[in-house]
Structure 1
Amino acid sequence: MKSITTIVKGTFLAATVFAITQCTTASKAASGDEKTFIVGPQTADCTGVAPMKCLQVKETPSGEWTNFYTNIEGFTYEPGYEYVLKVKTEKIQNPPMDGSSIKYTLVKQVSKTKK
């Protein structure tokens, strides 16, 4: 049977590791992550708060196109082109009820291909 001291030491070590990883994760989320988005050559009809046009976005070439309901700050979409973008994501502290909880900002337009 383990002694109380061994159990306390193990618990303290586990709690310390957990605290360190959570601090790292929290600061990474606060500073934002980068993602690669592939933006399709056409928009699609979709409904957010009201009927609208959504960009078609996927994160991998073999992925499925999904509706993208918000904008990417610094990016100007032109129909007929497929884009590969590096995008910074930042969590919004108090998002509007009808808005995204993530802010997307263009870091770099990697490519723009006529389709």
Structure 2
Amino acid sequence: MAQNEYGEKLDSNGYAPSILSKSPTCLICGRYRTARHEVFFGPYRDKSKRLGLWANLCPWCHQNGVTAVHTNREADLRLKKWAQKKAMEYYGWPEARFIQEFGRSYL
């Protein structure tokens, strides 16, 4: 089984366990019937998967609601800021290392 650079096992889709939440319910509202949302997308999507920077989100909080992370810039940036803090804490990174990994700081 594949592992990331920190020794975390990756599932068959390349996801490490989430460092943001262990719950199968929506990270934002607590509903069931969720989908995985990679917090950092585009060129950083695979890195988000590999480093556990993803969360379970229900359709409303993910794509369909007025405050969904895919349609509401404020909600998206709030999640990115929180995920950056969690990543820096979990991996022991200074802000400069986060920027090196993800191209910018959200703090």
- Provide the TM-score with structure 1 as the length reference: 0.25
Higher strand content, 1 or 2: 1
Higher helix content, 1 or 2: 2
- Provide the TM-score with structure 2 as the length reference: 0.26
Bigger Rg, which one = 1
